[in-house]
């Protein structure tokens, strides 16, 4: 090669579609996940809750969010409703005012986790599955061990251990999952205050990934994490200038509400 210098290829930034593609389709619906798959997202991010009859369903909120779904009068907590009752909710018609670009999809219901995992045949993407559990509460609607058992069983049923990361703010759920499914990768969600990502990983069953709120993903913190063999996956970034700041900080992936726009942004680089 003589004196010819070869430019080092920049590491690929993986794209996680937050709640599928919340900027474009009603969040956490099949339509949002199919949008993200077609856009080419590397991961589908989704949130889990458990119904009264023990079914994992995909919802960010543990109870009805009247800005997201329309429901009959009555009980609104998912863990106090059966799957059949939760399925009566209309989660495709209301337009989230936060996202002018979101298109309603009439007929969309809360999907089961099983239905979303069945989309795996549509491509080579992976899943970033959040076990929604409040780390500050001692009385939970579903105990961490039970939650972990349901999640591990669903992933095992679809043989998706290699295509799933499980994340949570509630490290109790991650510790339980690690005990019963040690091969599933774990991601420690973290909101703050600023703290070593290596410490956070240790507290979360030695999570392979740390997922900090985006402003905590500073270059030095990312370098220290990488030196310890960890990955850093911040959330939730929707603006090109923030994407560029995170990329410059060295993050491994970005969680965004608009995966198609982030993919286009990365391709233009």
Residues with a catalytic annotation lie at 18, 60
Q: Is 65 one of the binding residues for ligand G3P (CB under 6 A)? A: no
Q: What is the 3-state secondary structure (H, E, C) of 7-56?
A: CCCCCCCEEEECCCCCCCCCCCCHHHHHHHHHHCCCEEEEEEEECCCCCE
What does the chain come to in residues? 269
Own/partner pairs for 6-10, CB < 8 Å, 24+ apart?
10/269
Q: Is 236 one of the binding residues for ligand G3P (CB under 6 A)? A: yes
Q: Could you tell me if 228 and 255 are in contact, meaning their C-beta atoms sit under 8 angstroms apart?
A: no
Between the CA of residue 1 and those of 5, 6, 10, 153, 201, what are the distances in Å?
8, 9, 21, 53, 43
Judge residue 218's burial from the number of C-beta atoms within 10 Å of its C-beta, 0-12 exposed, 13-18 middle, 19 or more buried: middle
Q: Is 130 one of the binding residues for Ca ion (CB under 5 A)? A: yes
Q: How far is the CB of 155 from ligand G3P (least distance, A)?
A: 17
Contact of residue 249 among ligand G3P, Ca ion, none (CB under 5-8 Å per partner type): none
* Residue with smaller CB distance to Ca ion, 200 or 224: 200
Size of the site for ligand G3P (CB under 6 A): 10
Stretch that binds Ca ion, among 24-32, 39-47, 203-211, 249-257 (CB under 5 A): 39-47
In the shown chain, the binding pattern of residues 141 to 160 toward ligand G3P, with x for contact by CB under 6 A and - for none, equals --------------------
Q: Is 79 one of the binding residues for ligand G3P (CB under 6 A)? A: no
Q: Is 61 one of the binding residues for ligand G3P (CB under 6 A)? A: no
Q: Is 170 one of the binding residues for Ca ion (CB under 5 A)? A: no
The span from the CA of 188 to the CA of 203, in Å, is 9
Binding site for Ca ion (CB under 5 A): 47, 130
Binding site for ligand G3P (CB under 6 A): 18, 45, 47, 60, 130, 189, 211, 235-236, 255
């Amino acid at each position: 090669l003589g004196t010819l210098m070869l430019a080092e290829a920049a590491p690929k930034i993986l794209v996680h579609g937050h709640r599928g593609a919340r900027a474009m389709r009603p969040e956490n619906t099949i339509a949002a996940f199919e949008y993200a798959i077609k856009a080419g997202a590397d991961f589908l991010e989704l949130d889990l809750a458990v119904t009264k009859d023990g079914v994992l369903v995909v919802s960010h909120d543990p109870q009805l969010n009247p800005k997201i779904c329309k429901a009959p009068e009555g009980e609104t907590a998912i863990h106090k409703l059966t799957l059949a009752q939760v399925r009566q909710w209309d989660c495709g018609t209301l337009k989230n005012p936060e996202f002018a670009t979101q298109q309603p999809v009439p007929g969309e219901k809360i999907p089961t986790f099983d239905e979303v995992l069945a989309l795996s045949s549509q491509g080579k993407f992976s899943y970033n599955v959040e076990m929604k559990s409040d780390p500050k509460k001692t009385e939970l609607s579903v105990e961490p061990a039970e939650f972990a058992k349901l999640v591990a069983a669903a992933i095992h049923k679809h043989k998706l251990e290699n295509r799933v990361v499980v994340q949570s703010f509630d490290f109790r759920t991650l510790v339980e999952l690690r005990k019963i499914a040690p091969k599933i990768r774990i991601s420690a969600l973290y909101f703050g205050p600023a703290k070593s990502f290596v410490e956070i990983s240790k507290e979360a069953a030695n999570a392979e990934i740390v997922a900090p709120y985006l402003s905590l993903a500073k270059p030095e913190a990312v370098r220290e994490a990488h030196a310890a063999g960890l990955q850093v996956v911040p959330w939730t970034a929707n603006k090109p200038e923030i994407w560029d700041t995170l990329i410059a900080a060295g993050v491994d992936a970005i969680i965004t509400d608009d995966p198609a726009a982030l993919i286009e942004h990365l391709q233009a680089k």
